[in-house]
Amino acid sequence: MPYPFYQVDAFTDRTFAGNPAAIVLVDDVPSNEWMQHVAAEMSVSETAFLKAREGGAYDLRWFTPIAEVDLCGHATLAAAHVLWQDGHLAAGVRAVFETASGRLSAQQGEEWILMDFPAEEAEELDEQMGLALALGADPSYIGSNRLDILVELDSEATVRSLTPDMGALERIGMRGVIVTARATSDAYDFVSRYFAPRFGIPEDPVTGSAHCCLGPYWMEKLGRSDLVGYQASARGGTVGVEVAGDRVLLKGKAVTVLRGELLA
């Protein structure tokens, strides 16, 4: 039977910006192999599969074109957007997701969709791990959490101008590398970029889960828990972040670009 699917641009309020995610609604439990084939076919950073549970929650899984991942912000934002937009959830009802990273939720705010995610704080590393050579820039800080490497550079201009060696980044062995610096514009507190060649994503346009790390990091440096980040990829996107203990509230907007039926 056909499965409804959507493509949604997340962490943006306009089409053809932010990070595109494919959302597939299923009413059975597809095989991992089938979901991976679909994700490869969709060929966006993440394809999310949503299955309704009794009680109103949804099982949610995320796949890049080559592998399943444990946490994804932009596809969760896109999934919640689809549930409200097409009436699967009534306006104002909280979206609840059971995932590989535990229970996540999203709710509608006045301006943003707000998502409750785990904080993923980084711990400073003593070794350089070849990152200066891989990035072509000298880090002022290197840390890591269970998912990614976090690198601070000297300026927003340096972050924006990076042309990393993807082969060298892939050999580092983590899910991805977050690169960040303090923003020069008053509109944002920090900027970032995210590289995950090991998972088939040379550069991710906007990475919600990276902000689970960026939020706590910049809160400590700037002394504020409510922040706004800009991911300076070619498409670009804005992520609001509010840190509350071991949780992070991610804030974003989303726009549906297309809808259809998956016949495979």
- pLDDT, residue 116, reads 97
> Cα(38)–Cα(259) distance, rounded to whole angstroms?
15
- Enumerate residues 6+ apart whose C-beta is below 8 A from 99: 59, 60, 61, 62, 70, 71, 76
- pLDDT, residue 1, reads 80
- Enumerate residues 6+ apart whose C-beta is below 8 A from 6: 22, 23, 78, 82, 256, 258, 259, 260
To which H or E segment does residue 61 belong?
Answer: strand 58-63
- pLDDT, residue 264, reads 87
Nearest residue to 181 via CA among 136, 238, 229: 229
- pLDDT, residue 81, reads 98
Each residue's pLDDT, cut to its tens digit, for the chain (264 residues) gives 899 999 999 999 999 999 999 999 999 989 999 999 999 999 999 999 999 999 999 999 999 999 999 999 999 999 999 999 999 999 999 999 999 999 999 999 999 999 999 999 999 999 888 999 999 999 999 999 999 999 999 999 999 999 999 999 999 989 999 999 999 999 999 999 999 999 999 999 999 999 999 999 999 999 999 999 999 999 999 999 999 999 999 999 999 999 999 998
> Cα(118)–Cα(76) distance, rounded to whole angstroms?
13
- pLDDT, residue 138, reads 96
To which H or E segment does residue 32 belong?
Answer: helix 32-42
- pLDDT, residue 241, reads 98
Residue 205 in tokens: 């346009």
User: 117 - beta bridge partners?
Assistant: 248
Show which residues are catalytic. Answer: 46
Q: Amino acid letter at 88?
A: H
Nearest residue to 226 via CA among 197, 248, 203, 193: 248
